[in-house]
Structure 1
């Protein structure tokens, strides 16, 4: 009895699942499996897209840029240079006589003078007295000559009467001729002295503009002092433009040029009147001398820039917006056949309102980025939109 009751108790403690319980467990498993299948299908839908296609990478926004094919056209060949202004014909004026103390200076820098005009006067009291002495000696010589002539005339009258011999007539004739010669010598000496006095005046050798003055009243001067004044003959000026050897060979006398003094916006028109026959072996440069008319803004010794019109050449012409520069020099961006941006180094020529001429680096058939180059980098992919060249 006890044994049976113990067995029953143990069996009750470990009851086997009933049929309902087993059906409920199967339903839960089916629901979980269906849920897993649905979740898997949803994941597959979002991951691989509709129709089972793989997702594509997001589209890249390729920039559109405007390009231009410049071609080639006649462009003025402008040669730029710098140099110093100078008098075209500078005339140094100094003491030509014996010199002395300066009593007057009659001109100032910037004055116009005529040929032969007195610039300064040197004290001449001693020379004037010497001239007066020579003038008096002429009077003495003339008196002696007159006396000799009178004696000769009287002797000729006496020789006819036989009181004087022919030899006396010859001696008196010689005396008369010597007296006349002394008159001529005295006159020559007086002329020489007056010429010396005239040379005490410092005069302008030709008409022109006074550039500098290096003498003051009271100063003692002589030929060793050098130039006391400097004049620009006719007021004509020039620019000594320094040019590379290659540019110099392309120029000829008569080529027009435009000169702008530093610090001004004034433009002066001139032309080349002389080309240097010698090239500096150190700098490999020569000098083109550009003739200019007188103007107060053109001061000898000043610095100026020039643009020389050296004919015309066929070259690409680009808008200024297409040309960029950095420490390496000027460059443009060119779009290649693969629509990728390529840097192209260039050399520019004349820059004007019509554009920038390219003398080196382009042949005119390239697709050049017109603007927005600062936002691009070499190798960037772009969509080029062609704009017609002007």
Structure 2
């Protein structure tokens, strides 16, 4: 600025209004009227364009920026789950059951004679006996004397019969000479016949007494294992005393296996079963010989009776488990980790095409060393969550990863 108040070109100051006025050029020289107007118009247009761009950018962020953030958040929070496609496997059917061991045929033995005092007990529980073996001896002193007396009566009757026969023989020799009439012969014949009949009666009575004496002893009706002894020395027994011994016929045992209605329907007589008594560590082979025709209304279970041969390790009343063959089953098989359970029953999570885990109710079947078969609820082509199912909810978005792609995972 010179001393006469004029602004020299190129010396405009930042605080001067002219520095921001479109009516001046860069040298500070005032512009003509048209040029100043054109300069202002261009400036306004630029400002409007900038404002429109800023407004459009803000509007785009409002409409799309939140979704992108949500998607980014979702991407970071979506859990990765291991899935398996089970397919369908052919599995040898096995039914597991538990039950109690018992004698297949229990024979209660009591006193069948007139009874008396027990003088000797020759066996105890756990002993093996043969048919006809004496288990206990009953006092028979009185009965022996009665039998001896009757035996003497037999000899008397026999002597009378021999005498009557001799008289008849002599009479027959005299009748030809006329010393004895035929009427006398008839009398002698009748006497002889009566004597012979008395011999028969005496012998029959003796046999009866001897049979009664033989029945005084308690005898095994068949070979087998003595399960229980309920008699002691000095005890007086008779027909109403009750059971003195319990015998397992031929030592045969059985397992009374409790099974559900579905499992019973899969069995038939002759099916092989493997029995493992508790505490023995041994496995015995048996066969189903009877299937319960009725179902318990309270437990909804029935009994399969599995016959077993005698072995000292099989103790009636003991507890045992059974694995029974039930044919071949073709069904999907899953590892135990894939199956969840709650109050509503068993279920799995299936990853759908929408990338979400969906709860699927299933019904389990055979339990094997390789997994658990699924009898209903799956066809084998689904992507089933193999692990971490307990942390999912129905409808959760997940990222599926195949079990085959996971190092060290059992297929």
TM range (shorter): 0.7 to 0.9
Equivalent residue for 1:128?
144
The answer as to 2:277 corresponding to 1:261 is yes
1: distance between equivalents of 2:342 and 2:284?
Answer: 32
The answer as to 2:328 corresponding to 1:307 is no
Any idea what SS the aligned residue of 2:173 has? helix
**Residues 107-122 of structure 1 mapped to structure 2, 5 A cutoff:** 107-122=123-138
The answer as to 2:399 corresponding to 1:364 is no
2: distance between equivalents of 1:246 and 1:54?
Answer: 59
2: distance between equivalents of 1:282 and 1:207?
Answer: 39
* Alpha-carbon offset, residue 75 of structure 1: 2.0
1: distance between equivalents of 2:392 and 2:296?
Answer: 44
Any idea what SS the aligned residue of 1:225 has? coil
Gaps spanning 5+ residues in structure 1: where? 1-22, 31-43
2: distance between equivalents of 1:369 and 1:283?
Answer: 34
Note the alpha carbon deviations across 1:235-261, whole angstroms, 9 max, x for none. Answer: 111122233334323321111222333
2: distance between equivalents of 1:356 and 1:115?
Answer: 50
1: distance between equivalents of 2:102 and 2:192?
Answer: 62
2: distance between equivalents of 1:332 and 1:282?
Answer: 30
**Residues 257-296 of structure 1 mapped to structure 2, 5 A cutoff:** 257-263=273-279, 265-296=281-312
The answer as to 2:209 corresponding to 1:193 is yes
1: distance between equivalents of 2:344 and 2:165?
Answer: 99
Higher relative contact order (CA 8 A, sep 6+): 1
Equivalent residue for 2:23?
none
Equivalent residue for 1:225?
241
C-alpha contact (below 8 Å) 1:66/1:371 kept by paired residues: yes
Note the alpha carbon deviations across 1:53-78, whole angstroms, 9 max, x for none. Answer: 96953553233322111011222333
* Alpha-carbon offset, residue 111 of structure 1: 0.6
Equivalent residue for 2:38?
none
Change in Cα spacing, 1:66 to 1:252, as seen in structure 2 (3 Å) is same
TM norm structure 2: 0.77
Equivalent residue for 1:321?
337
Any idea what SS the aligned residue of 1:223 has? coil
2: distance between equivalents of 1:279 and 1:330?
Answer: 25
* Alpha-carbon offset, residue 283 of structure 1: 4.5
1:97 to 105, 113, 135: 113
2: distance between equivalents of 1:120 and 1:284?
Answer: 45
Change in Cα spacing, 1:280 to 1:383, as seen in structure 2 (3 Å) is closer
TM norm structure 1: 0.81
The answer as to 2:400 corresponding to 1:384 is yes
The answer as to 2:197 corresponding to 1:181 is yes
1:141 to 150, 157, 160: 157
* Alpha-carbon offset, residue 300 of structure 1: 1.8
* Alpha-carbon offset, residue 109 of structure 1: 0.8
Change in Cα spacing, 1:315 to 1:378, as seen in structure 2 (3 Å) is same
Any idea what SS the aligned residue of 1:224 has? coil
1: distance between equivalents of 2:249 and 2:261?
Answer: 30
Any idea what SS the aligned residue of 1:102 has? strand
C-alpha contact (below 8 Å) 1:90/1:233 kept by paired residues: yes
1: distance between equivalents of 2:366 and 2:204?
Answer: 68
The answer as to 2:255 corresponding to 1:239 is yes
* Alpha-carbon offset, residue 337 of structure 1: 1.3
Change in Cα spacing, 1:159 to 1:54, as seen in structure 2 (3 Å) is closer
2:82 to 50, 59, 66: 66
Any idea what SS the aligned residue of 1:270 has? strand
* Alpha-carbon offset, residue 180 of structure 1: 1.4
1: distance between equivalents of 2:368 and 2:258?
Answer: 23
